[in-house]
Amino acid sequence: MRCRFHLGLTLAAAGLFGLASPADARALMIAPVQQPGQLASQADVVIVGKVVEIEKDTVEATPFKGAPKEQKQAYKIAIVKLEDSIIGGKGLTQFRVGFPDGAAAGPAGEPGPGPGVGGPAVKLRPIRGRGPVALTAGHEGVFFLSQHHDGDFYILAMNGTAPPLNAKDENYKKQLEEVKKIAKTLDDPVAALKAKDVNDRFQAAQLLLQRYQINRTGGVASREAIPADENKLILALLTELPWQPKETKPRTGSDPVPPSRSALWYMVQQDMTGYKQPAFPVQKPGDPPVDFNKIMDDATTNYLKDNIDKIKLKRFAK
């Protein structure tokens, strides 16, 4: 019976990333393209800009932190002229954005080997089943960027697999507003966590906790306590939410995850010192169905009630 609990956490994780149905346990590895707000939550920098040039010469850098220096990857460099800073990037006029030489243009290139320099070919590490994306001159829209670990340039977020939004798309304005909403939450987390509507508070907590679980160092990083005000407000929200969403209607991949404690619990459970997974009864033929959600709701409610003043949620230190 315990496996059902772990599956529940996996499904909650799948829901966070916008999957329409968690029926397939492999969904976390082959998820569809993430929504703009989710990409913004994982990027170091988010800007509105235009690719004004692709430099003729390539530069060499290792494809991931820890890769042998002799296995460098050739990167093309796009010059992105800054039009507006959404997250980070203030005071700059342009960004150098690298992408693997030979990557496919469009929503996502196919994952595959990149040419090695001074050694065998380097297989790029695809993230969530998607490959690196190439930029093209003239592309205008929103770019989700991360600093390359050792190169003097940025790459597209999620290890180069996060495609920029296209200003020519019919739903671009709606996507841009979604990204700006994320930025507003990051600029003032406390205000977002104090929103009147529980859906808005839940989305703010979901965003912040997801962002706090990202190790941006590329190596081993310590964890530190999140700000006390945020800690208090997130814990208060957890006590307010039911274990499972009250909504039962089918959800598409673009629909927001409905508020529930289970959707946040897997991101905070590691900081719940002393919390023990409840024991589920063994069912015998003829026994009435076991309400696993009620068991989890009771267990987490009682834990929060008894320990709320002791819980210190943490994030990766930068």
Q: Which of 279, 316, 311 is nearest to 295 (CA)?
A: 279
Q: Angle CA(200)–CA(258)–CA(157) in degrees, nearest 5?
A: 75
- Rounded percentage of the chain residues whose pLDDT exceeds 70: 79
Mean pLDDT value across residues 181-202: 95
pLDDT for the residue 152: 92
Structure tokens at 241: 């939410």
Q: What is the mean pLDDT of the chain?
A: 82
Residue predicted with more confidence, 313 or 68: 313
pLDDT for the residue 300: 97
Residues 6+ apart with CB under 8 A from 173: none
Domains annotated for the chain, with CATH where assigned, are 2-32+188-316 (no CATH), 43-169 (2.40.50)
pLDDT in tens, 209-249: 999 988 877 678 899 999 999 999 999 999 999 999 976 67
Indicate whether 61 pLDDT > 60: yes
pLDDT for the residue 239: 97
In this prediction, residue 254 has a pLDDT band, given cuts at 50, 70 and 90, of: low
Cα 156 to Cα 245: distance, rounded to the nearest angstrom: 34
Look at the pTM and tell me if it is higher than 0.85: no
Question: Which helix (H) or strand (E) segment is 143 a member of?
Answer: strand 140-147
Indicate whether 43 pLDDT > 60: yes
Considering Cα of 36, then 38, then 49, then 149, what sign does the dihedral take? negative
What string of DSSP letters covers 165-231?
P-TTSTTHHHHHHHHHHHHHHHH-HHHHHT-SSHHHHHHHHHHHHHHHT---SSS---EEEPPHHHH
Mean pLDDT value across residues 99-127: 49
pLDDT in tens, 66-89: 888 888 999 999 999 999 999 998
- Rounded percentage of the chain residues whose pLDDT exceeds 90: 58
Q: Angle CA(84)–CA(102)–CA(140) in degrees, nearest 5?
A: 20
pLDDT for the residue 10: 39
pLDDT in tens, 274-283: 999 999 888 8
pLDDT for the residue 118: 32
pLDDT in tens, 121-144: 333 344 443 688 999 999 999 999
